[in-house]
């Protein structure tokens, strides 16, 4: 082995060691950098700042499928997969992927995500539109479920395996439910920020306050999502359904039913509704957000874990599975 090969191997080991020691920080940095780099052409194109004389082709009526979705897949889900593989190995990948298939939860959680979200957004729309509501078209009603499925395999699959599946359990283990919410919400908002320089964020018509109101929505709605994630036994499909139900109602039915809610007012209405829902959850759960701490004490010291001291059980909320965390399987902060 040459000196160059030895130096390269040493740098590789150092990088893997850094990721193992700081998986959360590694995830947030990698998710942002990969998505932002992939979104740069879209932002610079005629769909954004107009520096590049090119417009992304419309797919399903929007250039965002071609211009934004690839960066979304390269960000949270790809970063979570890579960091989990390096930091936690096969056992970690098995736990991470297992939450993605955790569909077996009590029926009322499906009702909350599929019916409660539209009901809450209807009430919010009525409040902000002054009570003026129009019946949606038959076309919009017919497209609602098919587009919800599309949202599940695009927005839901691209984002939630990273934010909720990878980051949330680790953050809650280290900082508790409220601390985790106050970290993950702003990080979730930050990831979206470059897109406000494109038509995704209403550029150039949207006001300067639009990204700030969106950040408020992310912080507040993240609290609701954490509660659903915890109470369903860490079911990722339910988190995905909750997320995309909001997106789908806003994009398919919102403006048809409340035509006065356009632009900034629509975002303000969504943020206000999320703040109300988050307040209800915080008060109703006394700040626990449905989180059940491990029955035993999980220490962050690798030496204790390697020596096999103790284990802990994570209650599964309303799901069907109880997760046993052995010392060598513990969550990495």
User: In angstroms, how far is CA 92 from the centroid of its own chain?
Assistant: 19
d(CA 319, CA 115) in angstroms, rounded, equals 20
| CA–CA gap between residue 169 and residue 180 (Å, rounded) | 9
Distance CA 155, CA 310 (A): 39
3-state secondary structure of 319: strand
Give the separation between CA 158 and CA 228, rounded to whole angstroms. Answer: 19
Copy the structure tokens of residue 146: 């098919």
End-to-end CA distance of the chain: 36
Q: Taking a C-beta distance cutoff of 8 angstroms, is the pair 195, 43 a contact?
A: yes
> Pick from 212, 214, 226: which is nearest to 183 by CA?
226
Q: What is the pLDDT of residue 1?
A: 55
- Cα four-point dihedral sign 26, 76, 186, 317: negative
What does DSSP say about strands 312-314 and 323-325: parallel, antiparallel, or unpaired? antiparallel
Torsion sign, CA atoms 256, 124, 288, 216: positive
3-state secondary structure of 244: helix
Q: Could you state, in order of their start, the residue ranges of all structural domains in the chain?
A: 11-329
Beta partners for residue 105, in sequence order: 319
Of 225, 197, 227, 228, nearest to 211 (Cα)?
197
Is the Cα dihedral 290, 291, 294, 295 positive or negative? Answer: negative
Using alpha carbons, select from 312, 252, 22 the residue that is nearest to residue 121.
Answer: 252
List Cα–Cα distances, 61 to 58, 84, 115, 251, in angstroms. 5, 36, 26, 12
Phi (first) and psi of residue 132, to 5 degrees: -90, 115
Residue 193's CB is within 10 A of a number of other CB atoms, namely 14
- Residue 14 has a pLDDT of 81
Q: Is 154 helix (H, G, I), strand (E, B) or coil?
A: helix
Query: What is the block-wise mean pLDDT of the chain (333 residues), using blocks of 10 residues?
Result: 55 82 96 98 96 93 92 96 95 93 93 94 92 91 95 96 96 96 96 97 91 97 97 95 96 91 89 97 96 55 34 40 35 35
Distance CA 183, CA 163 (A): 11
What local confidence, expressed as pLDDT, does residue 331 receive?
A: 35
Give how far Cα 203 sits from Cα of 39, 187, 190, 196, 315, Å: 15, 22, 17, 6, 45
Pair 42, 48: CB distance under 8 Å: yes
């Amino acid at each position: 082995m040459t000196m160059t090969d030895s130096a390269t191997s040493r740098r590789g080991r150092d990088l893997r060691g850094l990721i193992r020691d700081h998986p959360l920080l590694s995830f947030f940095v990698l998710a942002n950098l990969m998505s932002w780099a992939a979104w740069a052409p879209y932002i610079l194109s005629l769909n954004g700042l107009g520096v590049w004389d090119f417009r992304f082709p419309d797919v399903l009526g929007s250039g965002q499928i071609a211009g934004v979705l690839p960066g979304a897949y390269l960000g949270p889900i790809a970063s979570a997969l890579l960091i989990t593989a390096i930091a936690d190995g096969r056992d970690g990948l098995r736990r991470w992927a297992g939450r993605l298939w955790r569909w077996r939860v009590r029926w009322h959680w499906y009702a909350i995500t599929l019916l409660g979200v539209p009901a809450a957004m209807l009430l919010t729309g009525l409040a902000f539109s002054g009570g003026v509501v129009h019946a949606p078209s038959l076309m919009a009603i017919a497209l609602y479920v098919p587009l919800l499925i599309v949202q599940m395999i695009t927005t839901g699959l691209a984002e939630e395996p990273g934010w909720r599946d990878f980051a949330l359990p680790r953050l809650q283990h280290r900082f508790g439910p409220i601390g985790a919410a106050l970290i993950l919400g702003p990080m979730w908002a930050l990831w979206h920020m470059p897109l406000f320089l494109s038509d995704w964020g209403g550029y150039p018509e949207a006001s300067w306050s639009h990204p700030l109101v969106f950040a408020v929505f992310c912080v507040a709605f993240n609290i609701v999502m954490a509660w659903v994630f915890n109470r369903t036994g860490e079911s990722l499909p339910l988190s995905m359904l909750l997320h995309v139900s909001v997106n789908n109602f806003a994009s398919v039915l919102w403006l048809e039913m409340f035509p006065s809610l356009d632009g900034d007012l629509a975002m303000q209405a969504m943020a206000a509704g999320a703040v109300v829902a988050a307040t209800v959850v915080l008060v109703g759960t006394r700040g626990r957000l449905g989180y059940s701490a491990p029955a035993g004490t999980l220490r962050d010291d690798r030496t204790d874990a390697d020596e096999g001291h103790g284990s802990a059980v994570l209650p599964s909320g309303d799901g069907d599975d109880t997760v046993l965390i052995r010392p060598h399987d513990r969550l990495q902060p």
